[in-house]
Amino acid sequence: MSFAKAQELLRLAMMATGRRGVTLDDIVAEFGCSERTAQRMTAALQSAFAQTDYWIGDDRRARWRIPARHIAHLLTPSSDELVALAEAISLLDHAGMKQEASRARSLERKVRALIPPEQGTRLDVDKEAVLEALGHAARPGPRPAADEEVVEAIYDALKGPCLLRILYRRRDEDDPSERVVAPHGLLLGVRRYLVARDTAKGPNAKLQHYRVEEIYYAEALDQTFEIDPAFNLKSHAEKGFGSCESEKEHGEVIWRFRPDAAAHARRYVFHPTQKTEETVDGSLIVRFEASGHLEMTWHLYAWGDAVEVLSPEPLREMAPLRVGRRR
């Protein structure tokens, strides 16, 4: 079943949770299809959801119904729907309908409370992207340019998942070359990296990072593949300080923030694995395990001499002069 057909089937399942179920006429009107297609859709519904009830109503029309509890776990709201709800709340506020706005906020809190934790973070990121598109959020500062058609192809391949043909240029190459990769995820940050396996190197090849701005062409192929069951994008991302990851650099990082900067530093999450410790003099020690010394150096520069690099030695040597170093 294609991704689009699966979406239609789920949409039909949601329609069928109504008290009176769904009829062929309802399906024809909702999907703009023929009655024959509507019949095929109800057959697919009964095949996918064994709990589907079928009966002939008092109006002599066939009806199909699914108890809502059986598909509740499939009904996580999309980022577009969450943004639409936030927009509705804002409009109610501006219209002076405070009581209705309050009820809508209560509904939003209930909806978000039902979202599984592992999906909540992704929806927050998606929500930021949609808000940005609506003109309610902005990302100041420089960012690499990327072909939107390339980005769209990457998203399509990740949703498949399916293989992706790309035209990519490495730093040591003058011209881009074609390769077919198996995409496993996307790292977002100052730079965007596609995490993928080069299929030409075999099924056991290591995952590589491809800079999205250096992908000159991308096409999602019809050929699917199996995601490595041992791969976890969150764990993979935690190996790096930013979007850059290096096995050679990976290890413990220790920073010491001066007492006068400690309160400010406590409000930062420098890395998901970080542990903090307060010293007798009021300094804040931050420890975490990651790689990406260059990206760490860029961040440390903003703290000036308020932070001291205690470990590792290569990072301490890379730190700007105005960043404190242990003597």
Residue 324 has pLDDT above 80, yes or no: no
Q: Is the peptide bond before 161 cis (omega within 30 degrees of 0)?
A: yes
C-alpha to C-alpha distance for 188 and 182, rounded to whole angstroms: 18
Q: What whole-number distance in Å separates Cα of residue 213 and Cα of residue 169?
A: 10
Lowest mean pLDDT of 61-65, 108-112, 310-314, 322-326, name the range.
322-326
Which band of pLDDT confidence, cut at 50, 70 and 90, is reported for residue 245? confident
Confidence band (pLDDT; 50, 70, 90) for 240? Answer: confident
Query: Residues 307, 300: contact at Cβ < 8 Å?
Result: yes
User: Does residue 197 or residue 186 have the better pLDDT?
Assistant: 197
Tokens for 23, please give them: 């009829």
pLDDT tens string 121-165: 455 555 555 555 455 555 566 666 667 888 888 888 887 789 999
User: pLDDT tens for residues 20-34?
Assistant: 889 999 999 988 999
What mean pLDDT is predicted for residues 170-192? 84
Q: What is the pLDDT of residue 327?
A: 47
Residues 6+ apart with CB under 8 A from 198: 179, 180, 181, 205, 208
Which of 44-48, 75-79, 108-112 comes out lowest in average pLDDT? Answer: 75-79
Cα–Cα distance measured from residue 201 to residue 123, given in angstroms and rounded to the nearest whole number: 34
Please indicate, yes or no, whether the overall pTM of this predicted structure exceeds 0.85: no
The answer to whether the beta carbons of residues 24 and 42 sit under 8 Å apart is yes
- What is each CA distance from 275 to 232, 262, 288, 302, in whole angstroms? 22, 14, 6, 21
pLDDT, residue 158, reads: 84
